[in-house]
Amino acid sequence: MSERITEQSDREPLSLGYFRSPYALMRLGLPGKQLKIASVIYSYSNLKRRPGAQCAMSFYKLAGSAGASVSTAKRAIRRIETLQGIDFTKESRDDDGRRLPCSRYSLHIKSGGAVTHFRFLMSLKFDMKDGNAARTLRDLEETIVSIFLTNATNPKAKKGFECSYESLAHMTGRSARGVEEAIRRLLRAGIIHRPKKGTSKHRKSRYTVCKKLRLMAGKEKLEDVKPNAEAPAKDRRTRAEIDADARTLWERHFAPLHARAQAIADANVRRAESDRDYAAVHKEIRGLEPAIARAKHDGDRRTAEQLTRRHASLKVLQARILSRLGLTAADLQPKYKCTVCEDTGFRKSDGRMCDCWRLPKSGHEGEKAN
Ligand SMILES: [Zn+2]
């Protein structure tokens, strides 16, 4: 029981923009979105100041909270009811036998720890540097980043989180191969870094999350920082203030800028994809890319070359269709105001604070004068 207290929050998790997924629950093998539904229920039924709290949510709200569809939420509940090793209750009727407007759930599990899933991580789009349009993270990618972020908030783990593909596979209930591929994609996109690489897949590597995401998750970080006897209190407060200012700047300035650029690109993508010819070519190109990678990986040079030629000719055709629609390939990508940091505040090249951070503040005075 003492274990459970450490991972409880006394405030509603979703109002803080996150929910928690116990490792023990992750290992039960629920598919990604169903696990998130279970985690939302868990987070609501384990509130520190409200023992015995239940999660009373419609399927619609439950789905929205976990970033899943309503049908996934329904499937998840049916599946969770059959799970062994958890304490799950579902009430559909009140004490007088009347049907409740929405069911009340509770989920408890003996757990040695939990991963915090930040909701912004599920909605943010990332350039995966794979030639495709920016996209949201897949379930396993999001879970891995969340594991690293959760552990990055631990002051003892400042240098990062050490693990092997196998240990991550064990934590997430997925295959080591799947974990390895997800990590490779995250590294290429610069979402995570690997300051120390294990020499074989059984050795542990050290991972850190890019500064931008660490900062965006900063609210959680500040709560988790324990008073440090060595550090003077004054310094700690100053740093907290700096972090808080940076967060506000992200929320007020960079987030809307970034979102606007992405919304315009998304609208152009939708316009292009509503064209039947474009959609067909786009679909074939998307199918070809993993096929080329596979052929290269298998050492099948002839197939790889054939597919690469087909890919190139499709790209030409795609550009032609786009120009018929009055679009260019660049229109499908977000046009950020600051190309150095792509309106995130952190330079793409090295993840350090971008020069444009200072612009809103210094520009602020100029705006006042106008
Ligand atoms: Zn910038």
**Residues 35 and 109 grouped into a single domain:** yes
Kindly tell me if the per-residue pLDDT of 261 is higher than 90: no
Kindly tell me if the per-residue pLDDT of 353 is higher than 80: no
Using pLDDT thresholds of 50, 70 and 90, give the confidence band for residue 363: very low
Kindly tell me if the per-residue pLDDT of 141 is higher than 60: yes
Ligand 1 midpoint to CA 125 (Å): 17
**Residues 366 and 242 grouped into a single domain:** yes
Q: What percent of the chain has pLDDT over 70?
A: 78
Ligand 1 midpoint to CA 137 (Å): 23
Q: How many domains does the chain have?
A: 4
Ligand 1 midpoint to CA 258 (Å): 11
Ligand 1 midpoint to CA 322 (Å): 29
Using pLDDT thresholds of 50, 70 and 90, give the confidence band for residue 244: low
Ligand 1 midpoint to CA 296 (Å): 37
Ligand 1 midpoint to CA 96 (Å): 60
**Residues 76 and 34 grouped into a single domain:** yes
Residue 133: inside a domain, yes or no? Answer: yes
Residue 209: inside a domain, yes or no? Answer: yes
Ligand 1 midpoint to CA 127 (Å): 16
**Residues 45 and 158 grouped into a single domain:** no
**Residues 243 and 366 grouped into a single domain:** yes
What is the average pLDDT value for the chain, to the nearest integer? 78
Ligand 1 midpoint to CA 157 (Å): 29
- Looking at the DSSP bridge assignments, the partners of residue 105 are 55, 90
**Residues 192 and 101 grouped into a single domain:** no
Ligand 1 midpoint to CA 319 (Å): 29
**pLDDT tens column, 83-131:** 988 999 998 888 888 888 888 899 999 877 889 888 778 877 888 888 8
Kindly tell me if the per-residue pLDDT of 239 is higher than 70: no
113, 42 contact by CB (below 8 A): no
Q: Which whole number is the average pLDDT over 200-220?
A: 72
Distances (CA, A) of 30 to 37, 39, 58, 100: 10, 11, 21, 27
Question: What are the phi and psi torsion angles at 70 (to 5°)?
Answer: -60, -40
Choose among 175, 173, 225, 179: nearest CA to 205: 179
Higher pLDDT, 45 or 76: 76
pLDDT, position 310: 95
Higher pLDDT, 350 or 232: 350
Kindly tell me if the per-residue pLDDT of 245 is higher than 70: no
- Looking at the DSSP bridge assignments, the partners of residue 117 are 19
Higher pLDDT, 45 or 365: 45
pLDDT, position 49: 67
Residue 148: inside a domain, yes or no? Answer: yes
Ligand 1 midpoint to CA 359 (Å): 9
What SS3 class is residue 338? coil
Ligand 1 midpoint to CA 369 (Å): 24
**Residues 296 and 263 grouped into a single domain:** no
- Least-confidence region, from 150-159, 262-271, 357-366: 357-366
Using pLDDT thresholds of 50, 70 and 90, give the confidence band for residue 178: very high
Of the residues 113, 136, 154, the one at which a domain ends: 113
Ligand 1 midpoint to CA 336 (Å): 9
Output the furthest CA–CA distance in the chain (Å, rounded). Answer: 72
- Least-confidence region, from 168-177, 207-216, 228-237, 260-269: 228-237
**pLDDT tens column, 25-68:** 988 888 888 999 999 999 888 876 677 778 888 888 888 778 78
Ligand 1 midpoint to CA 207 (Å): 25
Q: Which whole number is the average pLDDT over 184-203?
A: 83
Q: What percent of the chain has pLDDT over 90?
A: 29
**Residues 265 and 344 grouped into a single domain:** yes
Distances (CA, A) of 98 to 52, 95, 353: 21, 7, 57
The domain in which residue 244 lies consists of 229-275+325-370
Kindly tell me if the per-residue pLDDT of 5 is higher than 80: no
pLDDT, position 362: 38
Residue 340: inside a domain, yes or no? Answer: yes
Q: Which whole number is the average pLDDT over 222-244?
A: 45
Ligand 1 midpoint to CA 339 (Å): 7
Q: Alpha helix (H) ranges present in the chain? A: 2-6, 23-26, 32-44, 59-66, 70-82, 119-123, 139-152, 165-172, 176-188, 211-216, 218-224, 233-249, 255-273, 276-297, 301-324, 358-369
Kindly tell me if the per-residue pLDDT of 75 is higher than 80: yes
Ligand 1 midpoint to CA 39 (Å): 36
Of the residues 189, 207, 226, the one at which a domain ends: 226
Residue 118: inside a domain, yes or no? Answer: no
Kindly tell me if the per-residue pLDDT of 188 is higher than 50: yes
Q: What is the 3-state secondary structure (H, E, C) of 14-64?
A: HHHCEEEEEHHHHCCCCCHHHHHHHHHHHHHCCECCCCCCCEECCHHHHHH
Ligand 1 midpoint to CA 126 (Å): 16
Ligand 1 midpoint to CA 181 (Å): 30
